[in-house]
Amino acid sequence: MWDYTDKVLELFYNPKNQGVIEEAEQAGVKVATGEVGSIACGDALRLHLKVEVASDKILDARFQTFGCTSAIASSSALTEMIKGLTLDEALNVSNKDIADYLGGLPEAKMHCSVMGQEALEAAIYNYRGIARDVHDDDDEGALICSCFGISESKIRRVIRENNLTDAEQVTNYVKAGGGCGSCLANIDDIIKEIQQEAATPAINNYGVKVATDIANTKQSQLGLTNVQKIALIQKVLDEEVRPVLIADGGDVELYDVDGDRVKVLLQGACGSCSSSTATLKIAIEARLQDRVSKNLIVEAVEPLL
Amino acid sequence: MQNNCIYLDNNATTKVDPEVVEVMLPYLTEYYGNPSSMHTFGGQLAKAVKTAREQLAALLGADESEIVYTSCGTEGDNAAIRAALLAQPDKRHIITTQVEHPAVLNVCKQLETQGYSVTYLSVNRQGQLDLNELEASLTGNTALVTTMYANNETGVVFPIEQIGLRAKEHGALFHVDAVQAVGKIPLNMKKSTVDMLTLSGHKIHAPKGIGALYVRRGVRFRPFLLGGHQERGRRAGTENVPGIIALGKAAELELLHLEEATKRERRLRDRLEQTLLAKIPDCEVNGDTTQRLPNTTNIGFKYIEGEAILLLLNKYGICASSGSACTSGSLEPSHVLRAMGLPYTTLHGSIRFSLCRYTTEAEIDQVIAVMPEIVERLRALSPFKNDEAGWLQAQEQTLAHR
Ligand code: FES
């Protein structure tokens, strides 16, 4: 028997927002739909969003779920959480947020929350007319788990986003490894690799692939996930900002991204340069605003000595 | 803990019969001696153990010397397979089926890594074997044919005597995992082609932790568990005396009730099944309905998922079982239903109801009363429906091409 929280049971027994949203006849309102999962895997979710076009706000959200107790509860929770948010805000909802809202999910059921987050992304991408396969790196890279058709990039993403440390956890989140088990050793290797990367301070480039795709389509200002946003910032810094600074005997390193605040470490000539504030504003902030999002504010942090 | 539930999960385990508890109890308290001891305190126990052995032998239509006590069905299966191979070191081939219990399948898989070749016979949509496929797979190199008697999930019964005949013709030993069949199908090992047969106590109202393996007289048996001389050297380890006594009594009661209980269970099961099929659209029985245990029905409710059904049933105090092993996190549907080639629409929403002699008319009525509403409720949530078959069919097709 699963050990479900009261919140999970409550939303399972009395799910909120179940059903379909019919295409609105209302002016200024559109309906977006996202579908993920499959009957083969044993869970599937179709999410419907009613969006106010002018404000980008989610006026209503409904779901149809095929799946177990926690899949139904996760879908219901998700719809509750995103009502009233703008699409950009909704894109920041992670699978962990869904699980937290439910007071936690059994480890083996975490993939239900992942499904919720993916359906949300699918709905928003559909709404914005972004072909998800092009932008979603999850379908790229080598297929690691052929039982469930899960790619290396998707496995890498969940490991990073959820700080997973063993292959069984990966199975709980995305099912990879839960079939014949022949990919478990490969998943172990990926985890080891990621742990080694994390141990080295340099900012790794895992997100660059996503960022490249996004940048290539020139639609980067539309609904980026946090990971995509950070990756894109990193890419712009690496490719467009740093070469200029390095030529001037300086350099910049991304330190953190907190909402729209981008914190950087200025190095070399830039760090000591009296006009560093101006450098920041002109060379970095403007560039990032242009390439990633108009709202970004760049700040310099003091290097730790 | 809830203990007044409507228990329809008897293929998983059964309630210990109060009479069984009663006869077993003194062996947990007063008579705690070791039957192998020389002194009378232990010696008295040997007599009780002998009586229990006779009771179990009577249920099987076997001789008491052909009974080897084990700790469970899994041990019985493991011991039988290993024994058959150890006794015929020159033969390296095993035949089994795709729908066996993991206690057989996982041993076979391991043996494959040790140089044995294994044929896993397929089953048809009804869960039934093709004897021609068996015939074609048997060779002089086949050491063992091991199949179940009745399937735990669907209740489908295999034609074991015919399987045994073919195995004999090719000089192979024949082992039967009869964990689900014992107590539900009359057995007479004297007239059987079976060489070894596994059973488990907790499926027939004895406690967990006791089982037995029938080994036909004359079959060469090399023990799996080595140590002392218990069980005529076929299974070392101090006897589980309370368990053995309990299994003896349980066997006696099974034999006593067999005819009338199976009739009753069949009647109740059929009523449950037919009423649900009539009341609920889009559902079907999984498995052969002619060659089937009298106590089991496995019904696939399309477009919804088993665990959700179970949790709603649980709310009404009804215990059943689903065809998805969702405990694995992978939500892998049962290997048995998959081997039968059922579509995914049915696989994930399959529920097994398994009855026993304690099941009452009123309990069945209660299930019939709540089940339609449960199904309707979950279908209202589901994105898969008749009218939206497009998404589904596309998925089923892609999967078929994998
Ligand atoms: S390949 Fe991943 S579980 Fe089979």
- Mean pLDDT, rounded, of chain A: 81
> B161 Cβ partners below 8 Å, 6+ apart?
B192, B193
Which pair of tokens denotes residue B325? 């092993």
Nearest chain A Cα distance for residue B363, angstroms: 22
In terms of average pLDDT, the best of A146-150, A161-165, B396-400 is A161-165
pLDDT at A250: 72
Q: Tell me the C-alpha distance between A143 and A153, whole Å.
A: 9
Q: Which of A139-143, A233-237, A252-256, B131-135 has the lowest mean pLDDT?
A: A139-143
Quick check: B308 and A42 CB within 8 A? Answer: no
Q: Cα–Cα distance between A236 and A284 in angstroms, integer?
A: 9
Cα of B337 to nearest chain A Cα, Å: 13
Residue B297 CB neighbour total at 10 angstroms: 26
Q: What is the mean pLDDT of residues A235-253?
A: 77
A217 has a pLDDT exceeding 90: no
Is the predicted pLDDT of residue B44 greater than 70, yes or no?
A: yes
Report chain A residues whose CB lies below 8 A from the CB of B315.
13
pLDDT number for residue A296: 85
- By Cβ distance, the residue of B304, B330, B382 closest to A178 is B330
pLDDT of residue A156: 92
Question: What local confidence, expressed as pLDDT, does residue A202 receive?
Answer: 47
Compute the distance from residue A38 Cα to the ligand 1 centre, in Å: 17
Strand-pairing partners, residue B157, are B150
The dihedral through the CA atoms of B19, B293, B278, A14 has a sign that is positive
Name the percent of chain A lying above pLDDT 70. Answer: 80
For residue B198, what are the β-bridge partners? B177, B213
Residue bearing the bigger pLDDT, B344 or B74:
B74
Q: Is A111 on the interface with B (CB under 8 A)?
A: yes
Nearest-angstrom CA–CA distance, A117 and A99: 10
Q: Give residue for tokens 């340069």.
A: A273
What chain B residue is nearest to A174 in terms of C-alpha separation? B330
| Other beta carbons within 10 Å of B389 | 13
CA angle B106, B111, B113 (to 5 degrees): 105
Cβ of A15 under 8 Å from any chain B Cβ? yes
Contact A285, A298 (CB under 8 A): yes
Tell me which H or E stretch contains A254: strand A250-258
pLDDT for residue A134: 38
Q: Is A249 on the interface with B (CB under 8 A)?
A: no
Say which residue, A142 or A213, is predicted with more confidence: A142
**Across B146-158, average pLDDT:** 97
Three-state secondary structure call for residue B255: helix
Sign, Cα dihedral of B156, B160, B161, B163? positive
More confident residue, A217 or B155: B155
Residues, chain A: 305
Query: Among A252-266, A282-296, B192-206, where is mean pLDDT lowest?
Result: A282-296
Closest residue by Cα to residue A237 from A260, A229, A198: A229
**Which pLDDT band, with edges at 50, 70 and 90, does A210 fall under?**
very low
Helix (H), strand (E) at residue A286 = helix A286-291
Say if the Cβ atoms of A46 and B392 lie within 8 Å.
Answer: no
CB contact under 8 A, B383 and A109: no
CA–CA gap between residue B150 and residue B157 (Å, rounded) = 4
pLDDT tens profile A44-78:
899 999 999 999 999 999 999 999 899 999 999 99
Q: Across residues A240-250, what is the average pLDDT?
A: 73
Contact A66 B304 (CB under 8 A): yes
CB atoms within 10 A of CB A293: 17
What is the best residue among A111, A154, A182, A187 to mutate for testing ligand 1's pocket, by most ligand atoms within 8 Å of CB? A182
Enumerate the β-bridge partners of residue A60.
A50
Asked if A166 reaches chain B (Cβ–Cβ under 8 Å), the answer is: no
Nearest to B325 by CA among A14, A30, A2, A304: A2
Take residue A100 and report the two structure tokens written for it. 């937290």
Backbone angles phi, psi at A112, to 5 degrees: -65, -40
Q: Which of A39-43, A164-168, B100-104, B130-134 has the lowest mean pLDDT?
A: A39-43
User: What's the pLDDT at B402?
Assistant: 37
Of A8-22, A74-88, B16-30, B321-335, least confident by mean pLDDT is B321-335
Q: What is the pLDDT of residue A33?
A: 93
Contact B333 A42 (CB under 8 A): yes
Helix ranges, B4-72 (H): 18-24, 40-60
What is the dihedral angle through the alpha carbons of A83, A85, A88, A94, rounded to the nearest 10 degrees? -60
**For residue B71, which amino acid is it?**
S
**Residue among A138, A7, A140, A4 at smallest CA distance from A80:** A7
Judge whether residue B117 has pLDDT over 90: yes
pLDDT of residue B395: 56
pLDDT band at A139 (very low <50, low <70, confident <90, very high): low
Which tens digits make up the pLDDT trace of B54-111?
A: 999 999 999 999 999 999 999 999 999 999 999 999 999 999 999 999 999 999 999 9
- Amino acid A185: pLDDT: 87
Of the two residues A14 and B2, the one the predictor is more confident about is A14
Span B349-377, mean pLDDT? 97
Cα gap B179→B176, rounded to integer Å: 9
| Stretch among A256-265, B170-179, B276-285, B358-367 having the lowest mean pLDDT | A256-265
Give the residue from chain A lying closest to B319, CA to CA.
A1
Using the structure block, give the residue that is written with the tokens 């996202």.
A34
Q: What is the ipTM of this complex?
A: 0.83
pLDDT at A273 over 60: no
Helix (H, G, I), strand (E, B) or coil at B355: coil
How is residue B290 annotated by DSSP? S
Distance CA A299, CA A264 (A): 6
CB atoms within 10 A of CB B227: 11
What's the pLDDT at A245? 72
Residues in chain A with CB shorter than 8 Å from the CB of B332 are: 42, 178-179
pLDDT value of position A281: 63
Q: How many angstroms away from the CA of B3 is the closest CA of chain A?
A: 15
Which ligand 1 atom minimizes the distance to the CA of A146?
1
Task: Tell me the mean pLDDT in the region A118-129.
Answer: 92
Radius of gyration of chain A (CA): 21
Residue from B338, B252, B352 nearest B293 by CA? B352
Q: Write out the catalytic residue numbers of A.
A: 41, 112
* Cα A2 to Cα B14, B150, B313, distances in angstroms: 21, 29, 14
Q: What is the 3 state secondary structure string of chain A?
A: CCCCCHHHHHHHHCCCCECCCCCCCCCCEEEEEEEEEECCCCEEEEEEEEEECCCCEEEEEEEEEECCHHHHHHHHHHHHHHCCCEHHHHHCCCHHHHHHHCCCCCHHHHHHHHHHHHHHHHHHHHHHCCCHHHHCHHHCCCEEECCCCEEHHHHHHHHHHHCCCCHHHHHHHHCCCCCCCCCHHHHHHHHHHHHHHHHCCCCCCCCHHHHHHHHHHCCCCCCCCHHHHHHHHHHHHHHHHHHHHHHCCEEEEEEEEECCEEEEEEEEHHHHCCCHHHHHHHHHHHHHHHHCCCCCEEEECCCCC
- Identify the pLDDT of residue B175: 98
